[in-house]
Structures are given as C-alpha cells and as structure tokens.
C-alpha cells in the first residue's frame, strides 16, 4: 500500500500519527515530550514511526545482549578475514538475506525508516548536484519502495557507492569550475530533487516474529554485512557514516546557513570510528539524514 511522507497509507488500520497521552506534570512521558518538541525538525510521519520504534520492547530488553553477542561475532569475523590470504564477497546473498530478515523479523516501522532513508540519501545527493559546480554529474536513481527492492537493486552497497562517487565527482567539478558558487547564488537554488519519498509497507500484516526494533536489527545485520564484504569494503562502509559532516557542510555552503551544523554528530572522517560502534553510527546517520532533508524542505518553504 503506497505511503508517502505526508499521508497515511490507504486502507491501513493503524494511523502513523503519534498520539500523546494526557500530560502529567509530575510524571512526564519522555516520548510525548520529544514528539511535541520541534527544536530539531523532522518529517512528522517519520518521527511518529521513530518514536514507536524507540518504545518497542525489544529495544528495552534485547538490545544490550544483542549488541554484546554481535560484537563478539564481529570481532571473530574481522580477525579471521584479516588473517586469510584471500578475500571474498557475496553482494547478492547479502541483500537477499537482508530482505528476508527485514520481511520476517523486523517491525514494519523499522522497515519503513530503512527504505525511506535510501530515498532521502538520493534526494540530498541530487539536490547538491543540481545546485553544484556541474549539473551533469551522474544523479542517483536509487529509490526503493519495498523491502524486495532493496535486494533487487542491491541498495545498501549502491547507497555507499553513490556517496563516495558523489564526493569524488563533486570535488573534481569544483576544481574545473572555481566560480560555480557565485553563479548558483545569482540564479538561486533549485529544489526539484527535494520530493516526498514513496514507501510501500503493509502495516496491517504483522507476523508474530516481526519483533525487532531498528537498532537491534542493525546490530545483528552488521555481523552478516561484515561477512559478505571484504575487509576493506566493510571498513569503507563504516567510514561512509562519518561523511554526514561533509554533506552538512556542502549544504551550508549553498544556503549560507551553518547555525544547525552542531546537530551533526557523525563527524571527522579522517579519524575513522570503531566498526564495533557501526550500528549506533548508522542509527544516528538515519536520524541526521531525516533532519537534513527536513531542513531543506523548510528552507524551500521559507523562500
């Protein structure tokens, strides 16, 4: 059932709109307060799913043991792969297993946020291209709508490649067109790429085993991710999360507004983070992408 970022899925019995409880000043509900607060603006539908995900029981009871077990297996896999005289990869298998895992063990809310994240990344990269030094840079066409699309397009691998290739092409173009920013400021920013993201998730179909919250699912899948990539590819994927700072600075350069950059916490790609924190960094990356996209939507509306 189609679902854009601004409307409820047709025929879905469960409204995505978060409904706060009556406020108790002597016992405030954490999540109700965070929902009401707009200091960090987010798409309201995505935020409602985030808050439902954060309140899921698996996050409270399973996340800590899952994280401990996942890091033990990650250490074993990384050590063995570094010691082997050869490297192997299994991209197709990785994405097929990911799709099966998401469809059978992860909540619909978490699946929605994952699929939406890929599309938001494409929107942001394309916005920077259409307002950058060379509008002819290859644009992203990665817009999955379903969990199966993630496997068919090998979306996780492609998403990382889009980020790195964009940074490379963007800086090549800056060297070739040193006066590009003045030209963009003269003509004004184009927001054609900042469009709603369509995600098709059946929220009514809830299997008994679809219980994992988003961060718990990421913790588990990072282990399989490391197994299916070479050591260098896995390190590259982990480091890509710290490019959030770069993309935030690219946006600030275009808008002339850097007041919000302090919100970006995935920083300093020249000092790579530990892969054992990759799940947490990815969790943050999803939130920061949501915020950056919402910032562009609001910036466009204010103009």
**pLDDT tens profile 190-223:** 999 999 999 999 888 778 899 999 999 999 999 9
Q: Average pLDDT, stretch 102-116?
A: 97
Of the candidates 108, 114, 167, the one whose C-alpha atom is nearest the C-alpha of residue 144 is 114
Q: What would the pLDDT profile of 148-171 be if each residue is shown by its tens digit?
A: 999 999 999 999 999 999 999 999
Residue listed under structure tokens 């919100």: 263
What are the tokens at 272? Answer: 């790579």
The pair of three-digit structure tokens given for residue 273, joined into one six-digit string: 């983070």
Question: pLDDT digit string (tens) for 125-148?
Answer: 999 999 999 999 999 999 999 999
Residues 6+ apart with CB under 8 A from 302: none
pLDDT higher than 80, residue 13: no
Region 82-92 average pLDDT:
94
| Phi–psi pair at 282, nearest 5 degrees | -70, -40
HSE value, Cβ hemisphere, 13 Å, CA-based, for 65: 4
Q: What is the pLDDT of residue 303?
A: 82
Q: By percentage, how much of the chain surpasses pLDDT 70? A: 95
- Tell me 180's DSSP state: H
Average pLDDT, the chain: 93
* Residue 300 pLDDT exceeds 80: yes
The per-residue pLDDT for 16 is: 55
Q: What is the mean pLDDT of residues 223-228?
A: 97
pLDDT at 9: 43
User: Average pLDDT for residues 91-119, to the nearest whole number?
Assistant: 97
Token pair listed for 110 = 């978490």
Domain boundaries along the sequence of the chain = 40-302
Mean pLDDT of 242-246: 97
Q: What share of the chain is helix, strand, coil (3-state, %, to 5)?
A: 60, 0, 35
Residue 8 has pLDDT above 70, yes or no: no
Tokens 């919000």 sit on residue: 260
Asked if residue 45 has pLDDT above 50, the reply is yes
Task: Give residue 204's pLDDT.
Answer: 80
In contact, 251 and 296? CB cutoff 8 Å: yes
Give 263-281 pLDDT, tens digit per residue.
Answer: 999 999 999 999 999 999 9
């Amino acid at each position: 059932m189609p679902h854009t970022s601004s409307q409820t899925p047709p025929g879905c019995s469960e409204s995505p709109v978060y409904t706060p409880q009556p406020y108790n000043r002597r016992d405030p509900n954490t999540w109700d307060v965070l929902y009401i607060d707009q200091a960090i603006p987010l798409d309201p539908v995505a935020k409602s799913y985030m808050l439902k995900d954060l309140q899921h029981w698996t996050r409270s009871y399973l996340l800590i043991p899952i994280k401990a077990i996942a890091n033990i297996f990650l250490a074993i896999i990384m050590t063995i792969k570094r010691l082997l005289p050869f490297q192997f990869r299994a991209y197709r298998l990785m994405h097929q297993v990911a799709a099966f895992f998401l469809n059978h063990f992860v909540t619909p809310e978490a699946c929605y946020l994952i699929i939406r994240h890929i599309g938001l990344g494409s929107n942001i990269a394309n916005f920077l291209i259409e307002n950058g030094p060379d509008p002819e840079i290859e644009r992203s066409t990665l817009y999955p709508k379903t969990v199966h699309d993630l496997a068919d397009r090998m979306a996780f691998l492609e998403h990382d490649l889009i980020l790195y290739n964009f940074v490379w092409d963007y800086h090549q173009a800056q060297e070739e067109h040193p006066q590009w920013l003045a030209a963009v400021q003269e003509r004004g920013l184009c927001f054609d790429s900042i469009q709603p993201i369509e995600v098709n998730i059946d929220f009514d179909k809830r299997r008994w085993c679809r219980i994992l919250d988003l961060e718990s699912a990421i913790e588990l899948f990072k282990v399989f991710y490391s197994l299916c990539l070479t050591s260098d590819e896995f390190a590259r994927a982990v480091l890509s999360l710290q490019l959030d700072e770069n993309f935030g600075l690219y946006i600030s350069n275009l808008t002339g507004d850097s007041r919000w950059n302090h919100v970006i916490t995935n920083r300093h790609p020249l000092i790579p983070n530990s892969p054992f924190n990759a799940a947490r960094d990815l969790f943050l990356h999803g939130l920061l992408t949501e915020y950056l996209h919402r910032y562009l939507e609001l910036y466009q509306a204010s103009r």
